[in-house]
Chain A
């Protein structure tokens, strides 16, 4: 019974490992192992509780040693000595026979070969499973076989096979996109919740203060760095300035005082920063250079503190913008510059701006298009309807002209044997831009050539 219990426990452990992989669940794995151990313990307990009686053992010896029921008769009748006249002689005879028996030699316990084999194989497989490299070899193959299957694309997007064995892509893509959009909206809401609206205001105030400082000779370097969002550099420049206040001539001093006062005025919405600029200016006026230096150093420290918050906010805003672009939501927040302020990006300004970069470079088509309202779309050229990521804005065509809306057939993408992409390339040429963003804006890239052709600029433009 011990080999059987061990076999059950070992195989349960192995099954637990494999099913744990299959269902990707520690609970399943632990559950199966626990069941196996419980069954093994139960088998052992059962065998201990059902040990053979003395009579059973005597019968077994009688059978195996050919004692013709001598021992079992003596064991059974030992308690009723008066029943048979010959019983004492019989018991003496049985005792004599029993004394000559060496149980270990005469009665070899039968080895349950099948159970032992099962336990051995189970132990070997379990050991192999644990000691094999997890990323290569047999274990990797077994794991890949057992892992939950990735749902097939056609199953994911759903849809029934048509008679010709194809699946119309549009309804399936609609469903897929709706699901994706819901998840993206959730993510966007979360990001907007944790976004800090003060960060952008702070950035603007620092930029205004930078302009004021750039008007002075002694603080121009700090102002430039601040304007370029090199906050550590600006803080360092201000600290250097604070250490050389006593070396300024009167003209430089006066310039600096005025610059600091202008900066205080520019940052008036930030009471702390504004007061620090004011304190520095006032101390400079009354030649309290030490006090002025302390105020300037506090400004430097304040700039350093702002840097961390602005950087994280920058990343956050970048994500928000990406999601907004993907969802086709107009940019409600002005985008900033990427970290370090080296690469400018177009601002999506709720349609109020034209999408040009701050420095006037680039077309700003990507985010600009995202941020446009209906009216802007009407003025948009065909090339602006495709963003740089390949996202497509499908517009409905105004009926009544040469290409009425009714005659416009949207492309039917099909999966399967028949990749029949029937297009009506002239439809887009005739219609005027009027309407909405296409819900199927995630058309595969291999469809881009005919999409471009479809949205080629109308003749004459």
Chain B
């Protein structure tokens, strides 16, 4: 138990150090940084959405800098092919002069893969990441290649309303642990950004953890106890997004076409566990679940035309659900 306590304290210290390290480079966006860290320590992938120029790519690069992990960046463009991501088999000459096939690994073979502007590629290319994201393997010409753990895909995308974008397929979206929305910075943050990025010396993130430590942190998070009533609260939240569910609130019935999948529930629980550990707690609370609800579910919710016509977003609906779903023994959301 002593060793575990030490491990817990180490987890908390590393997570906090990671956030601080990133925060030294990225001004503002504390919530988004925290969400990225939570997703990574839960072993999940992130989709960061925001208009160009908000520092999404820089955020991911800073995370990679803070962790001693292999990093690769894929710039998604309309002419990007799946093989450009996964790699391809080429013929090469051996030392003996023979010719043989050899698999040339693509950029997906890294610990942190930055899929920059993922929605600029065609769905076919986007889907090249499906197997890697779910199973951490790549299959080429009937040959399956494993990707070294930990494996994180951190994708950025521009809002789909922008020209030259292809919406991600639902199956692809569902594989992202969190979808993190990056908005415009506040006035003070913007001023600090300008100050920090227009001088000669740009701050860099310090390394706070290396690969094995990250892996042990991911394992430790899975051992955080969660009580049945907290799990039931997560289930209630997920069920409330199902428009044909008996307990669905009116807003769900009216505006939602498809609700959250079981993967969303898994994300809620895992995010809750990581959040608890980051906060120095050894159990998952209702607040942990509630905090993860929007980032874990917003990209899994498919709204209908009426919602779009009324200008409703997934976050509007999720906030309403969170407010109306009452946990056991609690006062309500």
- List A residues at the B interface (Cβ < 8 Å): 55-56, 59-60, 62-63, 68-70, 72-74, 76-77, 83-90, 92-94
Contacts and interface: CB of A to CB of B under 8 A. Distances in A.
Contacts of A93: 281-282
Given A68-B287, A86-B4, A90-B282, A59 B329 contact: yes
A308 to B, nearest CB: 86
Contacts of A74: 283
27 contacts: A56-B329, A63-B330, A63-B331, A68-B276, A68-B281, A68-B287, A69-B284, A69-B285, A69-B286, A70-B281, A70-B283, A72-B227, A73-B226, A74-B283, A77-B225, A84-B226, A85-B4, A85-B223, A86-B220, A86-B223, A86-B224, A87-B225, A89-B5, A89-B8, A90-B224, A90-B283, A92-B1
B270 to A, nearest CB: 13
Contact of A89 (B1, B287, B329, B330): B1
Interface centre among A69, A73, A88 (most CB of B within 10 A): A69
Interface residues of B, number: 26
A154 to B, nearest CB: 61
A63 B225 contact: no
A94 B282 CA distance: 9
Nearest to B331: A63
Closest 7 CB pairs of A and B: A59-B329, A85-B223, A68-B285, A90-B282, A73-B283, A73-B227, A84-B225
Given A72-B229, A83-B225, A88-B1, 7 more contacts: A63-B329, A68-B281, A68-B286, A72-B227, A84-B226, A86-B4, A89-B4
A59 B1 contact: no
Interface of B: 1, 4-5, 8, 220, 223-230, 276, 281-288, 328-331
A71 to B, nearest CB: 9
A388 to B, nearest CB: 88
The DSSP consensus for interface residues of chain B is loop
A41 to B, nearest CB: 29
Contacts of B228: 76
B227 A76 contact: yes
Contacts of A83: 225
Interface centre among B220, B226, B276, B283 (most CB of A within 10 A): B283
A60 B283 CA distance: 17
A100 to B, nearest CB: 16
Contact of A59 (B223, B229, B282, B287): B229
Contacts of A63: 329-331
B21 to A, nearest CB: 26
Given A56-B329, A84-B225, A90-B225, A68 B1 contact: no
A68 B276 CA distance: 9
Contacts of B230: 69, 73
Nearest to A58: B329
Contacts of B286: 68-69
A69 B229 CA distance: 9
A69 B283 contact: yes
A69 B227 contact: yes
Contacts of B223: 84-86
Nearest to B280: A93
Given A63-B331, A85-B4, A88-B1, A68 B283 contact: yes
Contacts of B226: 73, 84
Given A87-B225, A89-B282, A90-B282, A72 B8 contact: no
